[in-house]
Amino acid sequence: MASSIFGELAALYRPGVFTTPTVFYFSLDEEKKTLTLGPEGCAIEEGKTVEEADCVCKTSAEFLLRIWNEGYRPGPLDFMSGKIKSNAPQLLQKFMEAFGK
């Protein structure tokens, strides 16, 4: 389950990767999370708590676990097929960097 990922994020966060607060919204099957990553830390909230996020990521919990646990990096075909959808794929790369992935 993807919630296991969100449970460990605060401990893995690398301050300084994001120099200004950046908001991510994850929609993973039925699970919804809003994360704010900033210069000093990250905040995780249940559900969609903002009107507009800097980066929206919609995918299945299974696909996110593959990315997180197996180091898989989505390519253009994954985005074109709809396995993963995002308004800012470049921010997803920076998101992974902020957690040492």
Question: pLDDT band at residue 96, thresholds of 50, 70 and 90?
Answer: very high
Give the structural domain span for 12.
3-98
The CATH number of residue 57's host domain is 3.30.1050.10
Compute the C-alpha angle 31/34/45, nearest 5°: 85
For 58, phi and psi rounded to 5 degrees?
-120, 125
User: How far apart (Å, rounded) are the C-alpha atoms in residues 14 and 42?
Assistant: 9
Number of domains in the chain: 1
pTM for the whole structure = 0.91
Residues 17 and 41: beta-carbon distance below 8 Å? no
Residue 93's alpha-carbon distances to 44, 46, 49, 50, 81, in angstroms, are: 18, 22, 22, 21, 19
pLDDT value at 1 more than 70:
no
Phi/psi for 54 (5° steps) reads: -65, -35
pLDDT class for 13, splitting at 50, 70, 90?
very high
Average pLDDT over residues 46-52: 93
E strands within 29-80? 31-37, 42-46, 55-59
What is the reported pLDDT for 68?
Answer: 92
